[in-house]
Amino acid sequence: MCKKNIQINLSHSSYSIYMGVPKFTKKKIKNLFFFGSQNIIVTNFTVRKILLNNFLSMFLNLKIKYKIIVLKDGELYKNLKTVDKILSFLLENQCDRNTNLIAFGGGVIGDITGFVASIYQRGISFIQIPTTLLAQVDASIGGKTGVNHILGKNMIGSFWQPKLVLININFLKFLSKKELLSGISEVIKYAIIFDKNFFIWLENNIFKVLNLEKKELSYCILQCCKFKKKIIEMDEKECSSRALLNLGHSFAHAIETYTGYSTWLHGYAVSAGIVLASYLSYYLKYLSLKNFSRIIDLFQKIKLPILGPLEMCGEEYIRLMFRDKKTVNGKIFLILPYDIGNVKIYELSDTNIILKIFKNIKKEKFFSNLNK
């Protein structure tokens, strides 16, 4: 397995991403991971059943005290009701400002745990131990925390950096194929945003990554972490360039909100969202037909969706995108690919363009053939 540490250098909250399984001394483990007066592990029922017992052996061997709170699994439960449940648990157990929260799970667990850490007693420490591919390449890094509202995705949240991130690819062998594919969509996103050579590498190696071949999988995760490190260090709180990471997400969040966070995995919505953003760029004559085809081909190669729900019309996308946090002063800002490895922020001054592309999607043979 690749063993590579990445340092995220920020002005007030730098931290390390540990790749692989570092061989720490007992003293270092205590200093790095479990320095709080109390250690509270936040996980879900699925992860607890499959992975938690092996992880807890380290606590038992070092005689470290801990408590566990187990949440229901899924994006549907990433809400303020779940936040209240965790806060009540912390208060009932008299957790103080030296308490350390440990997010042991996927992106949902990491987002909720980080958000609670940011607001409990005005901020306590937390650690990210991501167990899904999507969380390892994206969600666990960068300090974006938050929960969903019935009216919008991730509309309630904060920026709160973890104390460290521990990535172990061995966790991924317990994922379903659907969960792996959900993570791959974020990997493809990074390639389209940052690096054409990495996109070419994915075209040639994506099945090796999905088959969890260690060399290719480790390289893939490491590259994504490096991409995110670079953008976070330039723009920690998404004031400028970090917004580029939202490629496809305006469409994706609309899909997730429309479907009630229950039927579309985040990565599946991102896949459809990236294709829609790419199609819009092609329609506006920014993205070439050749590169648009390559983007769709890569998603179709692994059978990720290239369209959102068939019953979801252009008007619904517009309505829900106006509620998204990427809308500023009543203006929708989208991230569009102009080339593979080059994306730009695009101000959608005329929402009728969205209606036009959905009319084209329904009648255009090129797109309908792709969707068969």
Catalytic annotation on 122? Answer: yes
Catalytic annotation on 359? Answer: no
Chain CA centroid to CA 305, Å: 17
What whole-number distance in Å separates Cα of residue 41 and Cα of residue 127?
A: 9
What distances in angstroms separate CA 76 from CA 87, 132, 180, one per listed residue? 19, 17, 19
Catalytic annotation on 256? Answer: no
Of 186, 216, 236, 256, catalytic: 186
Of 23, 27, 81, 122, catalytic: 122
Of 189, 238, 256, 291, catalytic: 238
Contacts by 12-15, CB closer than 8 A, 24 or more apart: 13/143, 13/161, 15/161, 15/162, 15/163, 15/164, 15/165
Of 168, 228, 236, 291, catalytic: 228
Catalytic annotation on 144? Answer: yes
Catalytic annotation on 249? Answer: yes
Catalytic annotation on 149? Answer: no
Catalytic annotation on 97? Answer: no
Of 48, 78, 153, 242, catalytic: 242
- Name 15's Cβ contacts closer than 8 Å, sequence gap at least 6: 7, 8, 161, 162, 163, 164, 165
Chain CA centroid to CA 26, Å: 32
Of 44, 148, 246, 291, catalytic: 246
Catalytic annotation on 3? Answer: no
What whole-number distance in Å separates Cα of residue 125 and Cα of residue 203?
A: 39
Catalytic annotation on 186? Answer: yes
What whole-number distance in Å separates Cα of residue 22 and Cα of residue 166?
A: 9
Catalytic annotation on 78? Answer: no
Of 48, 163, 189, 253, catalytic: 253
Of 78, 249, 256, 291, catalytic: 249
Enumerate the active-site residues. Answer: 122, 144, 186, 228, 238, 242, 246, 249, 253, 266
